[in-house]
Amino acid sequence: MSTATKAGTEPATWAEYALDSLSEAGYRRGGSRRRVVELLGNQSCAVTALEMDDQLKGVGRATVYRALEQMEELGLIQKIDVGGDSAGYEKVDPQGHHHHHIVCTGCGKVVPFEDKKLEQVIHEVSERDGFSIQSHDITLKGTCEDC
Amino acid sequence: MSTATKAGTEPATWAEYALDSLSEAGYRRGGSRRRVVELLGNQSCAVTALEMDDQLKGVGRATVYRALEQMEELGLIQKIDVGGDSAGYEKVDPQGHHHHHIVCTGCGKVVPFEDKKLEQVIHEVSERDGFSIQSHDITLKGTCEDC
DNA sequence: GTATGTGCAAAGGCTTTGCACACGT
DNA sequence: ACGTGTGCAAAGCCTTTGCACATAC
């Protein structure tokens, strides 16, 4: 019972990829979870659970949290500490692209950044300590130019 | 016995240094905060507020949190996400030495590590993005050998 | 003696869980 | 039809705040 679109079978967007992965994991294609997935797919950086709940008017808060839990379990999204009270979540690129975050302790602003050298060093560290690294979540804290 | 100490200038331990800093910042030398400071001074890695509260029997939980807030404000300690529900805290070495953490997503074990190359790359990044970096808190997540 | 420090208890905020009903398969 | 998905409300847990008393200065 494959709902695969065409012979290519390559999902065009992260949301499609995530929905397919959830389906393969045995989850049904419910409408509320789908809305959570699509919201995450439209974001380029971290969003908190409460922000998602605010934007998804017909969706219960519990459903948002449950969907996030399932997706994090499958490695589709990543939980990120954005400094506030609520945790941030963002999609994980299946092709391995990712960024990190600088949080301003003054105004709370979150700025994403990428750095190839940093990626390489992290990769070396993860091999050095006998750990099998699943993800790395680097958050720098500082003061931005406006503060 | 210490041969290097001169008349009340250089604090011999982190706890003394922290208590001096708090005093200079205008805080009085209360007994409960002192116990929190000394507990932190005896730890080499992150401890949570609730763990501290458990160990400090006569000290109120509110006092623990208030002391942590004050010390973090002064940069004496650093808040660290150790993956659980409760936040971790650890002393900041005034001489700049520090380590980072790998958290096992299987058993929750926290392993500290150091890496000079990583430090240098972080330093470069912090200068590149126009941010004034106060601290960096790098947490890798993975599976340890026992899991 | 006065202002800060502290413990207790209550409140706050984010997250999780229980349960009954709706929906996907 | 059956079992999962979902919304609502309540509970849980960490953390913060209010208040009265103790303590440092």
- Look at residue B81 in the predicted model and tell me its pLDDT: 87
User: What does the pLDDT average to over A98-119?
Assistant: 87
Spans in chain B with pLDDT lower than 50: 1-5
- Look at residue A1 in the predicted model and tell me its pLDDT: 45
Kindly report the three-state secondary structure assignment for every residue of chain A: CCCCCCCCCCCCCHHHHHHHHHHHCCCCCCHHHHHHHHHHHCCCCCEEHHHHHHHCCCCCHHHHHHHHHHHHHCCCEEEECCCCCCCEEEECCCCCCCCEEEEECCCCCEEEECCHHHHHHHHHHHHHCCCEEEEEEEEEEEECCCC
| Residue A90, min C-alpha distance to chain B (Å) | 16
Q: What's this model's pTM, rounded to 2 decimal places?
A: 0.87
Pick from B106, B108, B87, B102: nearest CA to B147: B106
User: Which has the higher per-residue pLDDT, A111 or B135?
Assistant: A111
CA–C1' distance B118–C24 (Å)?
49
Cβ-based contacts of A133 with chain B (< 8 Å): 102, 140-142
Q: For residue range A22-39, list pLDDT tens digits in order.
A: 999 999 999 999 999 999
- Look at residue A127 in the predicted model and tell me its pLDDT: 77
- Look at residue A8 in the predicted model and tell me its pLDDT: 56
Q: How far is CA B28 from CA A121, B16, B19, B31, B67, in A?
A: 44, 14, 9, 9, 12
* CB contact (8 A) between residue B102 and residue A133: yes
Nucleotides on strand C with an atom closer than 7 A to protein CB?
4-10, 13-18, 23-25
Kindly report the three-state secondary structure assignment for every residue of B51-64: HHHHHCCCCCHHHH
Q: For residue range A45-77, list pLDDT tens digits in order.
A: 999 999 999 999 999 999 999 999 999 999 999
* CB contact (8 A) between residue A136 and residue B140: yes
B28 touches strand D (CB under 7 A): yes
Q: How far apart are CA A70 and CA A79, in angstroms?
A: 12
Structural domains in chain A, CATH included, are: 1-92 (1.10.10.10), 98-147 (3.30.1490.190)
